[in-house]
């Protein structure tokens, strides 16, 4: 056990935060870094993520308490390998219940927590042992279903410390559907009547689904009023006595916990609003309260016996992880008789007439509002969810203490990290100091900064986190109000960002240098101290490592430091100094022996080529030439099977979708979802090659028999036609048969199939920033992600290689880097990244438009010869490109009308055309693009 730090008491502040005071009456400033004193001598160093840093980096480990002073799981001191953290059983619990988490740091529990294996087992055992029928009947199986559903309703009410005397449980498809139900059924009084009209008020720190209720209110001629916390707290004036008897119903909605920052708003507001101590707006009437509890109840207990809100919407996957698509609305029975309903679905009617306007609802409140057959099998799963959750954790209070302890610890470390110039490494968006679990949930929202205080875009942080197998959430989290408040985004900024092409959920993270969103991490009951530690190591490593600070194109080198933080313990053992780095020697660019070469016998004469180039030049803007050295094509690759190995050729036909047979096939899982190297790195070990004479594709892999697939488009009886989706583009495909399915299933060790794009329907896409003949037409694509071709420059590869050499002990050869970037066309331009300044290029008889840069993903971190990952490649690219991951450009083909076949050949001269605006274009889509 470590030596405990000073004991604190928490004093509530008016805004809902707290101030910490050391017991004994001496006030101390709130903030991080007061968790205890270091057991290490001053100046001690430890090794963290491959860098030697001060031992005082990390404060004391989190301390957790359960109910009645008992430990949450088990109190433990956390060292470099904290034995027994979370009860001594947490490690065994994760191994038994969450084996799929091996090697993964999952930090998006506020988005969706994870289900334990025992929940699924109990549920599936239940389904195997019982026959559940439609509950809207009286047979034995139907009665069993009905009774089980009623038992689950009781269990839900019990979980929230209330009974059926006070509340009714109405099952919905989720929290959003529950909110919509409230908006439709609330007894609004519209504008224009003799009595005062209703108001719908909501806290601006609310989920989109709450704000969306104002649309229904507006359709009923009811005004909606957004309310900020300060506005609510400042409004304490009592209404005149003659207005206090007004019965006009108003509705105020606020979240028990902000899904953006984790701030917990006082549950006492419920009674204060209903009793008239607080007013959202000055208007006579009776206030009802909707408590959005979806985020709150995922990690905290809610006692509805004490805090009796009128409506409480919840989503069960936030609590259990399974099932999804099921929520509930808990309705206070005192307002139930006032609710109105116009539509009635199956199961809601006691009697009705089809030929006349007669309808009589069922007596039960739940049955009146549950239109159609409820999702009864999912409801049955909830029973097992409650059982397993209680068995594994001991209850919500312990979950609350455990998750908060991890958030408190992580917050303390994050807020401590600083650059040498004193600038913080992160900017945390919070209304509290993370010292009290009653006012702060297990959510940390932040942006990473550089040493100049500029925000590093959240999409770049997310990409880097994915390299470490850390799952975080980015964006605005369906809470624009909180995002605006914390990031300082005005209403005008939102509208300008929309005009600039930014929409919710995309990866446009910076506009004019200002962030459009942030990064969020959140903890669940199965989260461990190692999860927090892994995340912190990631932040330190990516901001502290040598390569990240020695960025090309910058004259100064900045290094990270940390403020001294008192510690109970050292959490990382001292290790030897970092090994010396081996100098990486260049090797001449050559052909890789493992790549098959293919030559097609056709080459236009020099005079014919010159004639073609002259024709192109007549319509092009002046050619862009930096010096007299010609730019030529050095390599051509096609990838017959998406995400499999390259097939290198010296000359190849060009079709209307790009290189002939390029990405015509793809591997899908048993659900028909495309598999890429992101999920299956071993795909790079599958070597397809095209034999044009025999009209077959030959597929090879080590340890496997060679198989072949006909190039003839077979859509006969044995082929199964299906719709498949590739990077947001839906295409029609057909199955390549059982033989190939068995081959790929055996090689990958999972059920999968090989499918081919059908000739009946072509994948097409339109590009916004495409100019010229193709701008008004749809461009035909194969199974590629974004464009027909991807081009990279050897000079750009060489510059990146120099940067990577500073990070890796073992050198990466040029040809290996070229393979990782999975281009179709490799060129030798004189200057690095000059290809990003081109608008068009001509190669032989072919003319291409440059439609934007390729934003890279983690696939470039996969060694294409071994399938092994190395995260340094993407990190080096991000550092070298100024925290962006653009490398290579997309091309679209504009075929010429000529009598010559369209061919692409190694050695052909490349004639570029400079863009009118030489600024680098943004990607043509908000989606992350990988070469596949």
Active site residues: 478
The span from the CA of 266 to the CA of 812, in Å, is 56
CB–CB of 617/623 below 8 Å? yes
Q: Which residues contact 507 (CB under 8 A, 6 or more apart)?
A: 459, 462, 855, 926, 927, 928
Q: Centre a 10 Å sphere on the Cβ of residue 744 and count the other Cβ atoms it contains.
A: 26
Q: Give the span between the Cα atoms of 884 and 877, in whole angstroms.
A: 8
Q: Cβ(428)–Cβ(444) under 8 Å?
A: yes
Strands 327-332 and 349-353, bridge-based pairing? unpaired
Secondary structure of residue 201 in the 3-state scheme: strand
User: For residue 578, what are the β-bridge partners?
Assistant: none
Helix (H, G, I), strand (E, B) or coil at 769: coil
The token pair that represents 668 in the structure block: 């899908």
| Separation of alpha carbons 856 and 928, rounded Å | 7
Q: How far apart are CA 679 and CA 200, in angstroms?
A: 46
Find tokens 């007061």 and name the residue: 34
Task: Using the CB atoms, write b or e for 258-270: b if 16+ within 10 Å.
Answer: bbbbbbbbbbebb
Q: Residues 369-374: contacts with CB within 8 Å, 24+ apart?
A: 369/170, 369/181, 369/185, 369/329, 369/339, 369/341, 370/170, 370/171, 371/343, 371/344, 371/345, 371/346, 371/347, 372/345, 372/346, 372/347, 373/134, 373/135, 373/136, 373/346, 373/347, 374/135, 374/149, 374/171
Can you tell me whether residue 762 is helix, strand or coil?
Answer: coil
Instruction: Decide: 64 and 403 in contact? Cβ < 8 Å.
Output: no
Backbone angles phi, psi at 623, to 5 degrees: -65, 145
Contact indicator for 82, 61 with CB cutoff of 8 Å: yes
* Residue 80 burial class via C-beta count within 10 angstroms: exposed 0-12, middle 13-18, buried 19 and up: exposed
Which string of DSSP letters, residue by residue, matches 221-247?
T-EEEEE-HHHHHH--PPPPGGGTT--
635 contacts: CB under 8 Å, gap ≥ 6: 648, 818, 823, 825, 826, 906
Looking only at the bridges linking them, the beta strands covering 825-827 and 631-638 are antiparallel
Closest CA to 232 of 178, 289, 192: 289
Strand runs labelled E in 228-325: 249-255, 286-292, 311-315
**How far, in Å, CA of 304 to CA of 20, rounded?**
29
What is the DSSP code string of 163-187?
-TTTEEEEEESSHHHHHHHHHHHS-
What is the chain's alpha carbon radius of gyration, rounded to the nearest angstrom?
Answer: 31
CA 882 to chain centre: 22
Q: What is the dihedral of CA 481, 414, 263, 430, to 10 degrees?
A: -50
- How far apart are the two ends of the chain, measured CA to CA in Å? 50
Beta strand 199-203 pairing with 249-255:
parallel
In degrees, rounded to 5, the angle at the alpha carbon of residue 66 between the alpha carbons of residues 64 and 72 is 60
């Amino acid at each position: 056990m470590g030596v405990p730090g000073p004991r604190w008491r928490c004093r509530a502040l008016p805004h809902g935060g707290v101030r910490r005071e050391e017991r004994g009456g001496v006030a101390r400033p709130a903030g991080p870094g007061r968790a205890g004193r270091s057991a290490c001598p001053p100046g001690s160093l430890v090794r963290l993520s491959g860098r030697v840093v001060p031992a005082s980096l990390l404060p004391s480990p989190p301390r957790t308490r359960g109910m009645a002073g008992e430990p949450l799981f088990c109190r433990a001191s956390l060292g470099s390998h904290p034995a027994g953290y979370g009860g001594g059983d947490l490690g065994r619990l994760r191994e038994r219940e969450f084996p799929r988490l091996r090697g993964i740091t999952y930090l998006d529990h506020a988005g969706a927590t994870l289900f334990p294996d025992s929940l699924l087992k109990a549920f599936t055992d239940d389904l195997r042992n019982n026959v559940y029928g439609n509950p809207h009947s009286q047979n034995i199986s139907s009665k069993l279903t009905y009774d089980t559903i009623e038992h689950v309703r009781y269990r839900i009410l019990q979980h929230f410390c209330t009974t059926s005397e006070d509340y009714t449980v109405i099952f919905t498809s989720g929290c959003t559907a529950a909110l919509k139900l409230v908006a439709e059924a609330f007894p609004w009084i519209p504008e224009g009547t003799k009595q005062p009209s209703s108001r719908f008020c909501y806290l601006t720190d609310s989920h989109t689904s709450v704000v969306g209720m104002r649309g229904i209110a507006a359709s009923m001629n009811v005004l909606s009023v957004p309310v900020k916390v300060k506005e609510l707290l400042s409004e304490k004036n009592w209404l005149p006595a003659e207005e206090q008897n007004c019965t006009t119903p108003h509705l105020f909605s606020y979240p028990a916990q902000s899904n953006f920052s984790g701030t917990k708003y006082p549950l006492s507001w419920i009674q204060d609003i209903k009793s008239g101590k607080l007013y959202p707006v000055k208007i006579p009437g009776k206030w009802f309260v909707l408590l959005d509890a979806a985020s709150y109840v995922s990690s905290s207990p809610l006692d509805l016996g004490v805090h009796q809100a009128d409506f409480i919407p919840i989503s069960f996957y936030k609590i259990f992880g399974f099932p999804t698509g099921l929520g509930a609305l808990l309705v206070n029975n005192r307002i139930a008789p006032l609710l109105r309903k116009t539509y009635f679905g199956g199961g809601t009617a006691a009697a009705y007439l089809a030929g006349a306007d007669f309808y009589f609802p069922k007596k039960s409140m739940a049955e009146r509002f549950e239109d159609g057959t409820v999702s009864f099998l999912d409801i049955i799963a909830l029973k097992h969810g409650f059982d397993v959750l209680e068995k594994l954790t001991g209850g919500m209070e312990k979950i609350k203490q455990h998750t908060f302890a991890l958030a408190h610890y992580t917050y303390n470390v994050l807020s401590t990290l600083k650059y040498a110039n004193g600038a913080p490494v992160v900017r945390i968006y919070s209304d509290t100091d993370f010292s009290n679990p009653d006012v702060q949930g297990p959510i940390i929202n932040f942006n990473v900064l550089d040493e100049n205080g500029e925000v590093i875009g959240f999409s770049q942080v997310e990409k880097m986190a994915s390299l470490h197998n850390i799952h975080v959430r980015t964006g605005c989290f369906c809470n624009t109000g909180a995002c605006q408040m914390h990031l300082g985004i005005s209403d005008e900024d939102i509208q300008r960002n929309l005009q600039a092409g930014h929409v919710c959920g995309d990866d446009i993270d910076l506009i004019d240098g200002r962030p459009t969103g942030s990064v969020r991490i959140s903890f669940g009951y199965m989260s461990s101290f190692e999860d927090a530690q892994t995340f912190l190591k990631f932040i330190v490593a990516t901001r502290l490592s040598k390569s990240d600070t020695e960025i090309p194109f910058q004259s100064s080198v900045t290094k990270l430091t940390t403020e001294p933080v008192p510690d109970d313990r050292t959490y990382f053992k001292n290790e030897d100094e970092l090994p010396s780095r081996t100098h990486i020697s260049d090797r001449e660019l050559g052909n890789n022996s493992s790549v098959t070469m293919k030559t097609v016998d056709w080459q236009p004469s020099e005079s014919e080529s010159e004639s073609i180039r002259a024709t192109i030049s007549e319509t092009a803007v002046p050619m862009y030439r930096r010096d007299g050295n010609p730019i030529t094509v050095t390599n051509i690759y096609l990838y017959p099977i998406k995400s499999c190995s390259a097939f290198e050729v010296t000359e190849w036909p060009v079709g209307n979708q790009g290189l002939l047979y390029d990405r015509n096939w793809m591997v899908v899982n048993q659900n028909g979802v495309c598999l890429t190297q992101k999920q299956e790195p071993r795909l790079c070990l599958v070597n397809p090659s095209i034999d044009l004479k025999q009209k077959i594709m030959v597929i090879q892999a080590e340890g496997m028999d060679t198989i072949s697939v006909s190039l003839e488009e077979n859509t006969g009886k044995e082929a199964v036609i299906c719709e498949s989706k590739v990077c947001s583009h839906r295409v029609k495909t057909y199955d390549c048969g059982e033989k190939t399915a068995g081959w790929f299933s055996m090689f990958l060790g999972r059920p999968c199939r090989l499918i081919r794009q059908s000739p009946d329907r072509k994948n097409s896409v339109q590009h916004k920033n495409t100019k010229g003949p193709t701008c008004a037409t749809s461009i035909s694509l194969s199974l590629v992600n974004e464009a027909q071709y991807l081009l990279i420059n050897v000079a750009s590869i060489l510059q990146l290689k120099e940067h990577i050499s500073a990070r890796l002990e073992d050198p990466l050869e040029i040809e290996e880097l070229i393979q990782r970037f999975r281009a179709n066309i490799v060129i030798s331009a004189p200057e690095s990244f000059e290809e990003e300044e081109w608008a068009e290029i001509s190669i032989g008889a072919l003319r291409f438009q440059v439609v934007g840069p390729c934003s890279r993903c983690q696939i470039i971190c996969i060694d294409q010869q071994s399938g092994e990952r190395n995260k340094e490649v993407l990190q080096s690219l991000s550092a070298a490109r100024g925290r962006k991951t653009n490398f290579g450009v997309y091309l679209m083909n504009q075929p010429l009308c000529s009598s010559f076949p369209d061919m692409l050949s190694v050695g052909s001269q490349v004639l570029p055309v400079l863009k009118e605006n030489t600024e680098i274009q943004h990607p043509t889509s908000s989606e992350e693009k990988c070469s596949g």
